[in-house]
Chain A
């Protein structure tokens, strides 16, 4: 997946993973938030419930306490000593009595009020307590007792809270006084309460703390601040933070006979523990959440990796197919979209392969067609000037004919003129030979090859082919050849065809335009490129034709005169050689074609065609007795060869066709067979093939005689055998025969 990181900033993996992880994180975070909110609310609700319970417990315990105190102190007044002391009405005795009592009943303050409402004696255990204040704040309760009703009240003395019980003392149904006993609601009560409800409590009076179980914590300012004249009435619980601990607080008020509203309490219920548990749970949840995210990320990562694996495979395959490797198929057998894609991809690959094969086939066909076209174009050119060639052949033939007749005249031998005539016959027949050879060479259809070729030689050979046409067309050829040996690498036949085509085109153009055509051919080497330019003074090419001049089948000639393929083929050939074919023209003043080819590097094997014919070997002695079979349907040629070989002391036998020759080889043994290529009946090649199967020894000493070098070469191909092209000189014949015969 990371072979092209610069191209793909986000892989499929990342694209899928990112939203998945985001969703997971959002999910987990929101879940955590909801859970947190819910649990916190529950914890607070729990604390609230506990607080409400605590409050109920507290007020209930207060009631019970008050009732209990009332019961306890109601009985005290029935004791004789109290009655006796009350009846006495003597302050000191009463004081002593009260002092005794205060220790006995575990009260904090006691006051005795006479029936007339005046306090007789008051005692306290704690000297800090203000007895006068006690007497005054308890007055409501005392008054009620003076009316005969025992009662309980809550009062504040010296900023401390007290439960106060006032009980009337009656002796024989006569009220003698009221005993008022104060018991502090202090730290002990608060701690009892704390033990009972596990809640904290702070008691307040007139804005000050009377008792508290939170002795080591500062009471929350918020509450202290509200402890003025209007103490908060028991209402909804409030959250407070005391000494770093979370509490839920609820306020309450003690009932007071005097209507004092500043006697109250605040209950604190700590929910720190559940909060801590909640935090621990949160941590666990958070950890779990992180784990879940990590796990799901890993799972998704792996899964996506597995899902995208087929995609990567497909990509690799696509790259292979892109390189042209159709050998492999995608091997994905999943039943999902990837599998379908793989199947489709395989089908596509198959189709592509078929298409490519078809294309290659088509290209091959096209190549073949092109080769055929090239050949047919060449033949059409030949057809064009074959009449000229025939005419040209007639001239030397006329000389040969004439001089041969002269030689037949009697007395020639004496006059000494015969050697002169023979020379002329020989020269003229050589000229004929050359004309035919050029034509054959041009017509030869050969496989493209790359050899070193001298450009000047090529130009000359092209001119030779067209010499007659140029001459008869009254066209003057001015060559300006570079002279230096600048070789190019290429196929001599193809390039020759290019030059012949261009020259022929120019000739045709000039012939139709003016009577005195001049064709200037020059070769130049510049910057490692060899250029050949053909400039004529013909009619030129019109600009609209210039565009189409290299288009196949485009021709300006009359129908039937040209194929329109010539220049397009030339263009193709030159381009294949790494060169360029350019044309420039001024209408009415001629056109110039320039063939531009790269110069061959250094000296290499010369492309100048070395004859594949047999090298000339000088006559060797001792040929007598060697049997030679000469097979040819031409009687003259057969006689000529026989005469030559007999002169060389060979034992010569002859056959007029393949059948006869085959018969002879069966009956006799031959050291050498010279055989014509083309014969009626069994031709040379068939004869050779049959001989090869029946008598391979003899077949290995075989020389073909052929006028159609091209055909013979093609047919023989790789088969080891020599051939001697017709016409041949006598020396060439002797050399070939001697060489093959010596090898016997």
Chain B
């Protein structure tokens, strides 16, 4: 997947003209203020956190950063189906896949057992049926989020995020991201994670050079009770 991304970004860099900057930074997650201390302080078993799932926020990954804004010029989808979701060991891989609208994704089954892939999401409902030793394809032509499951393996699940513009990126293993060739201007930068509320930040992209943005996701602003 990384290979495809880098190629894609390389392509962006070469095709884009001048007056474009780069957004770079990190995304991290943290829990409720003070919760870590409480956890460390051994109050986790208290009544207050009785039903709270213990989450290690530092281990979160697969954040997706995107510019939540509609650009006037329509971006053409990539011609080749470069995006693949593999069924292997009774799991979809990758688990999170951000794609530009109109992208077709391949669904090869690399297991020896039958699998199925289906979605009932609004953006793209489909059912590929049970198959083995085959590659099936799905084209995502609407922006949004599509959850894909296997009908016989309840643990199999993946999410396809479909964006309108190409200015999005996934964080690497260290939480770093880079969105190159962003036209200069002020944008709303949105950070997303499967299990956390998304957050948005105003970011001004210079004409040349890069702007660094560090984003933090977490459960904040909850009412105290």
Which A residues have a C-beta under 8 Å from some C-beta of B?
80-81, 84-85, 88, 90, 92-93, 95-97, 100
Choose among A92, A95, A96 the residue with the greatest number of B CB atoms under 10 Å from its CB.
A96
Specify the chain B residue showing the minimal Cβ separation from A96. B113
| Contact present for A93 and B113 (CB under 8 Å) | yes
What's the nearest-Cβ distance from chain A to residue B119, in Å? Answer: 16
| Contact present for A96 and B130 (CB under 8 Å) | no
Q: When A and B form their complex, what is the total count of cross-chain residue pairs whose Cβ atoms lie within 8 Å?
A: 31
B 138-170 contacts with A by CB, 8 A: 151-155
CA distance A81 to B155 in the complex (A): 12
CA distance A93 to B151 in the complex (A): 12
Q: Does B90 contact A (CB under 8 A)?
A: yes
| Contact present for A97 and B112 (CB under 8 Å) | no
Q: Does B187 contact A (CB under 8 A)?
A: no
| Contact present for A88 and B151 (CB under 8 Å) | no
| Residues in B whose Cβ lies below 8 Å from that of A81 | 151-154
Q: Does B114 contact A (CB under 8 A)?
A: yes
CA distance A81 to B114 in the complex (A): 11
CA distance A493 to B154 in the complex (A): 160
B contact face: mostly helix, strand, loop, or mixed: loop
| Contact present for A80 and B151 (CB under 8 Å) | yes
| Residues in B whose Cβ lies below 8 Å from that of A80 | 151-152
| Contact present for B152 and A84 (CB under 8 Å) | yes
Specify the chain B residue showing the minimal Cβ separation from A85. B152
Q: 5 A–B contact pairs at CB < 8 A?
A: A84-B116, A85-B114, A90-B114, A95-B113, A97-B153
CA distance A85 to B151 in the complex (A): 10
Specify the chain A residue showing the minimal Cβ separation from B112. A92
Specify the chain B residue showing the minimal Cβ separation from A100. B153
What's the nearest-Cβ distance from chain A to residue B87, in Å? Answer: 12
| Residues in B whose Cβ lies below 8 Å from that of A88 | 114, 130
| Contact present for B155 and A84 (CB under 8 Å) | no
| Residues in B whose Cβ lies below 8 Å from that of A90 | 113-114
Specify the chain B residue showing the minimal Cβ separation from A87. B130
Specify the chain A residue showing the minimal Cβ separation from B115. A93
| Residues in B whose Cβ lies below 8 Å from that of A100 | 90, 153-155
CA distance A95 to B114 in the complex (A): 11
B 104-152 contacts with A by CB, 8 A: 112-114, 116, 130, 151-152
CA distance A95 to B116 in the complex (A): 16
CA distance A100 to B155 in the complex (A): 9
Specify the chain A residue showing the minimal Cβ separation from B90. A96
CA distance A90 to B90 in the complex (A): 16
CA distance A515 to B114 in the complex (A): 185
Specify the chain B residue showing the minimal Cβ separation from A88. B114
What's the nearest-Cβ distance from chain B to residue A725, in Å? Answer: 149
| Residues in B whose Cβ lies below 8 Å from that of A95 | 113
CA distance A96 to B153 in the complex (A): 9
What's the nearest-Cβ distance from chain B to residue A507, in Å? Answer: 151
Specify the chain A residue showing the minimal Cβ separation from B113. A93
What's the nearest-Cβ distance from chain A to residue B111, in Å? Answer: 8
What's the nearest-Cβ distance from chain B to residue A615, in Å? Answer: 145
CA distance A205 to B37 in the complex (A): 54
| Residues in A whose Cβ lies below 8 Å from that of B90 | 96, 100
What's the nearest-Cβ distance from chain B to residue A86, in Å? Answer: 10
What's the nearest-Cβ distance from chain B to residue A736, in Å? Answer: 150
CA distance A234 to B21 in the complex (A): 87
| Residues in A whose Cβ lies below 8 Å from that of B114 | 85, 88, 90, 93
| Residues in A whose Cβ lies below 8 Å from that of B153 | 81, 96-97, 100
CA distance A95 to B152 in the complex (A): 12
| Contact present for A84 and B151 (CB under 8 Å) | yes
| Residues in B whose Cβ lies below 8 Å from that of A84 | 116, 130, 151-152
| Residues in A whose Cβ lies below 8 Å from that of B130 | 84, 88
Specify the chain A residue showing the minimal Cβ separation from B111. A96
B 78-113 contacts with A by CB, 8 A: 90, 112-113
What's the nearest-Cβ distance from chain B to residue A336, in Å? Answer: 84
| Residues in B whose Cβ lies below 8 Å from that of A93 | 113-114, 152
B 20-57 contacts with A by CB, 8 A: none
Specify the chain A residue showing the minimal Cβ separation from B89. A96
Choose among B112, B152, B153 the residue with the greatest number of A CB atoms under 10 Å from its CB.
B152
CA distance A80 to B152 in the complex (A): 7
CA distance A81 to B153 in the complex (A): 7
CA distance A97 to B113 in the complex (A): 9
CA distance A608 to B154 in the complex (A): 163
What's the nearest-Cβ distance from chain B to residue A528, in Å? Answer: 127
What's the nearest-Cβ distance from chain A to residue B32, in Å? Answer: 32
| Contact present for A92 and B155 (CB under 8 Å) | no
What's the nearest-Cβ distance from chain B to residue A241, in Å? Answer: 45
What's the nearest-Cβ distance from chain B to residue A586, in Å? Answer: 145
| Residues in A whose Cβ lies below 8 Å from that of B113 | 90, 92-93, 95-96
Name 4 extra pairs, CB < 8 A, besides A84-B116, A92-B113: A84-B152, A92-B112, A97-B152, A97-B153
What's the nearest-Cβ distance from chain B to residue A177, in Å? Answer: 14
What's the nearest-Cβ distance from chain A to residue B161, in Å? Answer: 27
What's the nearest-Cβ distance from chain B to residue A96, in Å? Answer: 5
CA distance A84 to B116 in the complex (A): 10
Specify the chain A residue showing the minimal Cβ separation from B150. A81
What's the nearest-Cβ distance from chain A to residue B68, in Å? Answer: 37
Leading 4 A-B pairs by shortest Cβ distance: A81-B152, A93-B113, A93-B114, A92-B113
| Residues in B whose Cβ lies below 8 Å from that of A97 | 152-153
What's the nearest-Cβ distance from chain B to residue A60, in Å? Answer: 35
CA distance A21 to B143 in the complex (A): 109
| Residues in A whose Cβ lies below 8 Å from that of B151 | 80-81, 84
What's the nearest-Cβ distance from chain A to residue B34, in Å? Answer: 36
What's the nearest-Cβ distance from chain A to residue B36, in Å? Answer: 32
Specify the chain B residue showing the minimal Cβ separation from A94. B113
| Residues in A whose Cβ lies below 8 Å from that of B152 | 80-81, 84-85, 93, 97
What's the nearest-Cβ distance from chain B to residue A100, in Å? Answer: 7
CA distance A73 to B68 in the complex (A): 48
CA distance A84 to B129 in the complex (A): 10
Specify the chain B residue showing the minimal Cβ separation from A99. B90
CA distance A84 to B150 in the complex (A): 11
Specify the chain A residue showing the minimal Cβ separation from B152. A81
Choose among B90, B114, B151, B154 the residue with the greatest number of A CB atoms under 10 Å from its CB.
B114
Choose among A88, A93, A95 the residue with the greatest number of B CB atoms under 10 Å from its CB.
A93
CA distance A581 to B114 in the complex (A): 159
What's the nearest-Cβ distance from chain B to residue A104, in Å? Answer: 8
CA distance A80 to B153 in the complex (A): 10
What's the nearest-Cβ distance from chain A to residue B70, in Å? Answer: 40
CA distance A84 to B127 in the complex (A): 14
What's the nearest-Cβ distance from chain B to residue A741, in Å? Answer: 151
| Residues in A whose Cβ lies below 8 Å from that of B155 | 100
CA distance A174 to B67 in the complex (A): 54
| Residues in A whose Cβ lies below 8 Å from that of B112 | 92
What's the nearest-Cβ distance from chain A to residue B21, in Å? Answer: 49
What's the nearest-Cβ distance from chain A to residue B167, in Å? Answer: 40
Specify the chain A residue showing the minimal Cβ separation from B155. A100
CA distance A100 to B91 in the complex (A): 13
CA distance A88 to B113 in the complex (A): 10
CA distance A84 to B153 in the complex (A): 10
What's the nearest-Cβ distance from chain B to residue A176, in Å? Answer: 14
CA distance A520 to B154 in the complex (A): 168
What's the nearest-Cβ distance from chain B to residue A255, in Å? Answer: 35
CA distance A97 to B154 in the complex (A): 10
CA distance A643 to B179 in the complex (A): 206
CA distance A92 to B155 in the complex (A): 17
What's the nearest-Cβ distance from chain B to residue A351, in Å? Answer: 107
Specify the chain A residue showing the minimal Cβ separation from B154. A81
Q: Mark B69-82, 1 if CB is under 8 A from A, else 0.
A: 00000000000000
CA distance A92 to B133 in the complex (A): 14
CA distance A265 to B55 in the complex (A): 46
Specify the chain B residue showing the minimal Cβ separation from A83. B152
What's the nearest-Cβ distance from chain A to residue B134, in Å? Answer: 14
CA distance A80 to B114 in the complex (A): 14
Specify the chain B residue showing the minimal Cβ separation from A84. B152
What's the nearest-Cβ distance from chain B to residue A494, in Å? Answer: 134
Specify the chain A residue showing the minimal Cβ separation from B116. A84
What's the nearest-Cβ distance from chain A to residue B153, in Å? Answer: 7
